[in-house]
Amino acid sequence: MAGKYELLSEQGLRLDGRRPHELRRIKCKLGVFEQPDGSAYMEQGNTKVLAAVYGPHQAKSKHTESIINCQYSQATFSTAERKYRPRGDRKSLEFKMYLQQALSAAIKSELYPRSQIDIYVEVLQADGANYAVALNAATLALIDAGICLNEFIVACTASLSKSNIPLTDISHFEEVSGGPKLTVAALPTAEKIAFLEMSERFHIDHLETVIETAMAGCREIRDILEAAVKEHLLHMGSASDFAKVC
């Protein structure tokens, strides 16, 4: 498959018609479910993810520090080829670990001693950048649950075309067409990177520009998420009139 398709056409357009720095269309909503303490739905292009947060509640184990417990699962019909199990395979265990790692960097865990926060992510449709969208959805769900964060933690993917032009937000088709893939989870305002993963190979000279592209994507997503949170709060608060204050 590698090298079968050019990631960037001569006209400078990608396989799905985007320009190199463009994100896919993002739609999101907070508070989709009643039962969890916080929930969010996020769509990035054709990747669709639901996230739910339960907690903070009393931890079962007797740790004094807070426990951040994640689960990543993917619906059996989410991929083009049917998956045989929704979770428990290596990919989802890996993603679960990475989610835990990135979210631990964002949650102010010192405020929740002896407590546990459960974060469950369900991918309904997978079309590339699954981890990044799952993390973004988890951030929104945490905000909906009212859990203190240092700041928004957002993730974005980036790649590099053959002509060394960096590309933002990789779709599934671009992922399988070959070419490197880099995932960054960042705290954009502090410009800190909480998680970084790359596959295939880069020349070290290009790494900096690709990371910068992913960070720019993160900042852009952060703005979208922030707008969604504000919109949600205005909507929530309109009953008690606090929307007029801000």
By the rule CB under 8 A, 95 interacts with other proteins? no
> What's the closest the beta carbon of residue 120 comes to other proteins, in angstroms?
4
Query: How many whole angstroms from its chain centre is CA 39?
Result: 14
Q: Give the side-chain half-sphere CA count within 13 A for 171.
A: 19
The answer to whether 171 and 23 are in contact (CB under 8 A) is no
Beta-carbon count within 10 A of 88 CB: 9
> What's the closest the beta carbon of residue 231 comes to other proteins, in angstroms?
12
Map tokens 């090298």 to a residue.
3
Burial 160-177 (b: 16+ CB within 10 A, else e): bbeeebbbbbbbbebbeb
Among 122, 169, 174, 220, binds other proteins (CB under 8 A): 122
By the rule CB under 8 A, 126 interacts with other proteins? yes
CB nearer other proteins, residue 118 or residue 194:
118
By the rule CB under 8 A, 139 interacts with other proteins? no
Cis ω before 36 (30° cut-off from 0): no
Encode 82-106 in three state secondary structure.
Answer: CCCCCCCCHHHHHHHHHHHHHHHHH
By the rule CB under 8 A, 60 interacts with other proteins? no
Among 6, 22, 23, 71, binds other proteins (CB under 8 A): 71
CB nearer other proteins, residue 124 or residue 149:
124
Among 27, 91, 108, 235, binds other proteins (CB under 8 A): 27
CB nearer other proteins, residue 77 or residue 242:
77
DSSP 14: B
By the rule CB under 8 A, 44 interacts with other proteins? no
By the rule CB under 8 A, 125 interacts with other proteins? yes
Contacting positions for other proteins (CB under 8 A): 27, 29, 32-36, 39, 41, 43, 46, 48, 50-52, 54, 71, 73, 75-80, 82, 86-88, 118, 120, 122, 124-127
